[in-house]
Amino acid sequence: MRKKLAGALAAMLLLGAPVTAFAAEDDFDATVSVVRNADSIVVTVPNNEAVYESANITLTIPFDGDWAYASVKHADGKTVVVAVTDAGITFPVMLGGTYTITESDGKNTESGGSGGGSSSM
């Protein structure tokens, strides 16, 4: 079931459409908004604190640009630098809110994260 849901989510993100999924046992809202700008991608995820605290959630945004690394900054100021792969830009989701993705040189110079392609959110 998870693989099918992940595949559907990836397909919808490729199309740039908002995605919604619901889990029967909880009120889990998986709505994801993706806005692509000239030099950034803004991803908004809902606040599902109980889910984020109890699981390691990652999100992959399809990306066909030529970035080697991306800086992913949450509205709370925490930043993670990740390697961009053929699958896209994958980053941990620790809180609901807005994540701003920009090109990075692979070194984290902003506060709240660790550099060199590791996550610290």
Give residue for tokens 């993706």.
Answer: 34
pLDDT higher than threshold 90 for residue 99: yes
Q: For residue 44, which amino acid is it?
A: T
pLDDT for res 83: 93
**pLDDT per position as a tens digit, 31-73:** 899 999 999 999 999 887 777 777 888 899 999 999 999 999 9
So where are the chain's domains?
34-104
* The predicted structure's pLDDT at residue 20: 44
Higher pLDDT, residue 120 or 46 = 46
Query: Which pLDDT band holds residue 23 (cuts at 50, 70, 90)?
Result: very low
Looking at residue 26, its pLDDT comes to: 56
